[in-house]
A = this chain, B = another copy of it.
């Protein structure tokens, strides 16, 4: 039955064509509308909130959620952390997921990234160089690099999924690994990726991305041995 309530709220959103951010009925209204107790309404809303379908603001109201990939990040992160502590190489699997998808997509990107994005990538790499000299590349900078690169894919859903994978990996890594970094190599590899993409050289770009991931994987392995 709890399942049923969730479905009815979902249908309500779909039937009324509610966009992200639109207000949903209040809890008392939903009670009457669905004919169930307040508790059941709340449990259904909590579940929908966990899936990002609904957004609840205390003292304000309930709204249609952003439908982002945040729940997926949450789920992937937990799955990976739990697996790691049980002795599985789940972090490596997550890294390989990213590697497989990103190396597969980079050829598609080569030569198709607009000049404005390339300039932005140059700026990000320059920032990386500064940060590397100052001790280490900030995570936010690396994230911006990948996000800008994937913008050229011209598919919001795809970009969000890739960002979700990055976020999950990053969150798990910072939790589990004491951040063995090799800033110099990291910067050079990002440079190489931009250069290859700029020239439209697909195979070279693919090699560059693969090297980048090889680097991360190697550092993971050497620090993660139990």
A interface residues, Cβ below 8 angstroms from B: 2, 10, 13-14, 17-19, 39, 42-44, 46-53, 67, 71-72, 74-75, 78-79, 81-83, 85-86, 90, 93-94, 96-97, 100-101, 103-105, 107-108, 153, 155-158, 161
Expressed in whole angstroms, the Cα–Cα distance for A58 and B184 within the complex equals: 55
Residues of B within 8 A of A78 (CB): 10, 51, 53, 67
User: Chain A binding site: helix, strand, loop or mixed by DSSP?
Assistant: helix
Q: What 3 A-B pairs are tightest by C-beta distance, nearest first?
A: A104-B104, A47-B50, A50-B50
Q: Given A17-B85, A53-B75, are A100 and B153 neighbors across the interface (CB < 8 Å)? A: yes
Q: Which chain B residue lies CB-closest to A86?
A: B17
Residues of B within 8 A of A101 (CB): 101, 104-105
